[in-house]
Amino acid sequence: MTRPATTRVFFAGGGTGGHLYPGLAIARALVNQAPHIQPHFIGAWRGIEREVLPTTEFPFTLLDLHPLYRHAPWKNWRTVVGAVGAWRELTRLAAPNTPRAVIGTGGYAAGVALAWGRAHGVLTMLHEPDSHPGLTTRTFAKGARSLFLGFPEAANRLAVGAHTQVLPLGCPIEPPPPTPLSRAEARRVWGLPDDAFVVLVVGGSQGARALNEVVAAWTQQALPSGVAVIWATGKQQAAAYLDRESGMVRVRPYLAPIAEAYAAADLAVTRAGAMTIAELCAWGIPSLLVPLPTAAQDHQTHNAQATQAAGAARYVPQRDFTVSTLDAAVRALRDDPAARNAMHAAALQRARPGAAADIARSVIVTLDLGAVGIG
């Protein structure tokens, strides 16, 4: 079989980092394993990809794409007009070298490209990070060649075609280093006692105001004996909390890289985004998951419930997340190493630190099969 000099693959997805960063991780793994593959990213002008894609090594095209305005349907004319223009642009973009596949990673930025690929006989593949699949995944799952799942539970909520491979290979993340810092070494980096019980609080790059307010009030009172806190407030909220640092509390706007914080942590208090949970599982960190209640289709609650059912976390609805519940949960887990060990083991059981490489291998095999006519 003669392979072309380059094999083009469109990646379509964005709007949020949870839809864009998995695509970037898969694309990098693809190029690492098969340098002849040439990823090209399709995104929306109004999504996070506008800021992120120009900083990457990949060619990209940003289109005038819009979501479905469910609560303001009179605005959907923008969605239709944008989709028509995007379709024409995709046709023009593909003319010199038709892509072998379109890989959708979710969000409204993926839908038009997947529909275009389906209409032009191009293989379509999907990555769904959440336990409750989004609209794009539900719409295109049935005709997809491969469906890569971050949560195996998502398969129960999808109707797929007879020839669709459903592969629960996980969410592509930056895996822990082969030899991470020991817990004691990491605590020394943070200037914390070797024997401290370290609680890591992370609300995402923008922070989570509901988490920050509770943690701020909790750290103002006497922390439980031996408890230390590493607290990432989010860049936009940092000014209000940076003065809360003390002997056992470390406050940072953002943790990048985050490996030293993960290595130091006994317990994490976080939102329940798919990528965050994937990282916590890869590091084997027990967690209190406080889902964002306004997340689309309440997908973070589904993620938290699935992770709790697996034994790796405890789910706390935001309405129940208070100073007293946080304090009680920290004390209980500090004093119950058997429970922490069980959560640690359950997290590692769910972990898929090699997800990006595994997904890339599957894509390469599928593209080779497609090249010999198994379309």
What is the CATH code for 183-350?
Answer: 3.40.50.2000
Both structure tokens of 201: 């609080």
Three-state DSSP class for residue 317: coil
Please tell me the predicted confidence (pLDDT) of residue 68. Answer: 67
Domain ranges of the chain: 7-172+354-371, 183-350
Beta-carbon contacts of 135 under 8 Å, excluding residues fewer than 6 positions away, are 68, 297
Q: Which of 151, 41, 87 is nearest to 50 (CA)?
A: 41
pLDDT tens per residue across span 205-256: 666 889 999 999 999 988 999 999 999 998 888 888 988 999 999 999 988 8
DSSP classification of residue 179: S
Please tell me the predicted confidence (pLDDT) of residue 198. Answer: 98
Please tell me the predicted confidence (pLDDT) of residue 182. Answer: 93
**Sheet containing 7-12: order of strands:** 60-63, 37-44, 7-12, 101-104, 123-128, 146-149, 165-167
pLDDT at 82 over 70: no
CATH fold, domain 7-172+354-371, is Rossmann fold (3.40.50)
Strands 267-270, 101-104: parallel, antiparallel or unpaired by DSSP?
unpaired
Q: Which of 332, 354, 328, 359 is nearest to 343 (CA)?
A: 332
Please tell me the predicted confidence (pLDDT) of residue 205. Answer: 62
Q: What angle do CA 210, 51, 304 make, to 5 degrees?
A: 35
Q: Which of 279, 269, 259, 290 is nearest to 350 (CA)?
A: 279
* CB-side neighbour CA atoms (13 Å) of 276: 27
> Cα-atom radius of gyration of the chain, to the nearest Å?
22
Q: Do domains 7-172+354-371 and 183-350 have the same CATH topology?
A: yes
**Other CB atoms closer than 10 Å to residue 61's CB: what's the count?**
17
Please tell me the predicted confidence (pLDDT) of residue 369. Answer: 60
Please tell me the predicted confidence (pLDDT) of residue 103. Answer: 97
pLDDT tens per residue across span 321-354: 999 999 999 999 999 999 999 999 999 999 999 9
**Other CB atoms closer than 10 Å to residue 64's CB: what's the count?**
16
pLDDT tens per residue across span 285-325: 999 999 999 888 889 999 999 999 999 999 999 999 999 99
